[in-house]
Structure 1
Amino acid sequence: MELMKKIWQLARENRKKIVLPEGNEERTLLACKSIRDNGIAEIILVGNVEEIRNKAKEIGADIEGINIEDPETSDKTKKLAETFYELRKNKGMTLEKADKIVRDPLYFGTMLVKTGEVDGMVSGAIHTTGDLLRPGLQIVKTAPGVSVVSSFFIMQVPDCEYGQDGMLVFSDCAVNPNPNQDQLASIAVATAETAKNLCGLEPRVAMLSFSTMGSADHEMVDKVRNATNIVKEKRPDILIDGELQLDAAIVRKVADQKAPDSDVAGRANVLVFPDLQAGNIGYKLVQRFAKAEAIGPICQGFARPINDLSRGCSSEDIVNVVAVTVVQAQNCAK
């Protein structure tokens, strides 16, 4: 896939440290060799050193040269616990409790991200999205000006005239069940930045609805319309329009009829769905019916990159998400 080749190349040009807290998970261990050999990232695994090495040997995973941090013995644990205590003491945190919590691999990894010991984290092969987001939101929090963490999929549709030669970015398809208008606006801004910085697109953002430019009146339409106006006011540099039905967003002939004055309609390459039901259904329809490659879900909106994996992911998926996380970290550093 051309996009992933470009992302791998960008990762190689400025390697970052990425922590993988599921250190003894088989697919994670198998991914380490490819990440190391291709120069994509410097990896830190979290877990018991002996257990990880024994598991790697058992499955034939070459992890020579990969750093391993065991929260139970690491010289970093004490400092991470103290920092976590300072971050959460107003919430009733104690030093004793903080020391116990940061020994959890996900919290240990998240604290490494927070303190700058690493540049990003990838997890989720054996943990739920909630398991990942909870420490991320408690510790790393959202980026300045971003009110909500969301997700996106990069959709690559073969032999397709829509989007940018068949490439579109869909959001939010995995995190927020029913964002309000301000959250939806924040998701749109974050996704436009993702399309530009990660995919190399000039984002044209369509705010999707069952209505196009006032063809229907409903509170659900109002939410999309208001979110669009919020983005236009706060970020006039972003090319965005809505509310738009899907066909008006991506099909020129339909756009000419339904939204002839729009600079986005018929040309959108970023599709922002009004809620999680629509987004999740939408990306899966395209993936199955159009045989599209769906890269994601990838998180956006954290102050430093933290990314989720599907529990059904392959080792190749982990390599690709690590590469994406590296590029996100590069953009954070700008």
Structure 2
Amino acid sequence: MLMIDQLKERARKNKKTIILPESMDKRIFQAAEIILKDGLADLIIIGTPQEVEENSKGCDITGATIIDPNTYEKTKEYEDLFVEIRKSKGLTHEEARKQLLSDYTTFGCLMLKAGDADGLVSGACHSTADTLRPALQIIRTKPGTRLVSGFFVVEVPGSEFGENGVFVFADCSIEQNPDPEKLAHIAISSAESFKFIVGGVPRVAMLSHSSKGSAKHPDVTKVVEATKIAQQLAPNLYIDGELQLDAALVPEIGASKAPGSDVAGQANVLVFPDLDAANIGYKLVQRLAKANAYGPMCQGIAKPVNDLSRGCSYKDIVGVVAITAIQAAGEDN
């Protein structure tokens, strides 16, 4: 059974309500049909009747709750909540209402903040910034969280590497060029996300173009420092670096380049040194190895809000919704 099928089964067992605010995108309705048919989540789709009718043609979304912000009975309540949250920034009621009616992701985040849903998935036709900005303004971060970061759950069919071909890649979407401390926190958060979503023991490789001092450069030093910080902050986790990708994945190369490592040759969580490397890396694996890549998922927000790649398929959206529902179920525990 593929990992995503296992995740879907978990989502079915503890069904949650997920908001889809991008009613202007056909893929959302194609995904919604499958989600509803398979019982993965209850859905709220935000949009006007015209938007929903135009973009849902040919899709059976029976069972979805359609909410038009222009006529919804709680829109004024959300407007008041928004003004209260942003009063220190001088947000007026007029400005709040204008944003609510024009930006469905903002509307959805306020629904989530009010407790009227369990999670939100956006990004099929919006940038990561447009998805995360309202989430951070309205829902904010989990208590004790040092930063919000992003990750992909990547499943490579038939691969002997990782956790039966399953990996977490981070940070592919948010932190452009993290310093050593941020990179360390990304590693720890990604290990926890792997443990919760994928299961099994996370083994975190701090990736570089160098393995254990084979090259000298400030970029290498950053990864070495990040590894030390992560090991000090989370001594119970398997975290090692700096490691080249082949040393992280291939047992015989890991044994040669990093003898004695608990991670080399066994890594299932890949932490890239910057956003360029991470984003390029996951897309290479997705397109050339025909891997399934679900995300970017977010870690560190107080309630589950997840992004999508604008190049996603409707099947990718189904997977991200299932994972979002699992994250929401975890918030209850």
TM range (shorter): over 0.9
Correspondence 1:1-150 to 2 at 5 A: 2-53=2-53, 55-56=55-56, 59-103=57-101, 104-150=103-149
Structure 1 residue 262 corresponds to structure 2 residue 261: yes
Percent identity (aligned): 51
Give the whole-Å Cα distance in 1 for the aligned partners of 2:311 and 2:291: 18
Q: Secondary structure at the match of 1:102?
A: helix
Other-structure match for 2:151: 152
Residue deviations 1:216-243, cap 9 Å, x none?
3322122212222222222222211111
Instruction: Name the amino acid aligned to 1:169.
Output: V
Q: CA deviation at 1:16?
A: 0.6
* C-alpha distance 288-31 of structure 1, shift in aligned 2 (>3 A): closer
Q: Structure 1 stretch 115-124 or stretch 278-287: which is displaced more?
A: 278-287
Q: What amino acid sits opposite 2:248 in the alignment?
A: A
Contact 2:14–2:329, Cα closer than 8 Å, also in 1: yes
- Counterpart contact for 1:153–1:296, Cα < 8 Å: yes
Structure 2: distance between partners of 1:236 and 1:188: 12
Q: Deviations over 1:141-192 (max 9, x none)?
A: 2223333222222222233222122222211122222111222112111211
Cα gap change, 1:90 to 1:232, in 2 (>3 Å)? same
Question: What's the counterpart of residue 294 of structure 1?
Answer: 293
Cα pair distance change 1:63/1:215, threshold 3 Å:
same
Instruction: Give the direction of change, closer, same or farther, for the CA distance of 1:115–1:293 in structure 2 (3 Å limit).
Output: same
Root-mean-square deviation (Å): 1.8
Check the 8 A contact 2:295/2:306 in 1, yes or no: no
Match of 2:169 in 1: 170
SS of the equivalent of 1:18 reads: strand
For residues 286 and 33 of structure 1, the distance between their equivalents in structure 2, rounded to whole angstroms, comes to 28
Paired with 1:78 and 1:113, the residues of 2 have a C-alpha distance of 15
Residue 20 of structure 2 aligns with an amino acid whose one-letter code is L
Cα shift readout 1:116-149 (whole Å, capped 9, x = no counterpart):
2111111122212221111112112222333322
Show the counterpart of 2:324. 325
CA distance in 2, matches of 1:66, 1:293: 26
> How many residue pairs are counted as aligned between the two chains?
332
Partner Cα separation in structure 1 for residue 322 and residue 302 of structure 2 = 18
**Structure 1 stretch displaced more, 5-14 or 100-109:** 100-109
Q: What secondary structure sits across from 2:190 in the alignment?
A: helix
Q: CA deviation at 1:20?
A: 0.7
Paired with 1:6 and 1:26, the residues of 2 have a C-alpha distance of: 27
- Deviating 4+ runs (over 4 angstroms): none
> Equivalent residues in 2 for 1:205-284 (5 A)?
205-284=204-283
Gaps of 5+ in 1: none
TM-score, normalization by structure 1: 0.93
Instruction: Give the whole-Å Cα distance in 1 for the aligned partners of 2:54 and 2:158.
Output: 46
* CA 36–288 in structure 1, closer or farther in 2 if over 3 Å, else same: closer
Q: Could you tell me how far 1:50 is from its partner in structure 2?
A: 4.9
Match for 1:70: what amino acid? Answer: D
Cα contact 1:221–1:243 (8 A) shared by 2: yes
8 Å CA contact 1:146, 1:186 repeated in 2: no
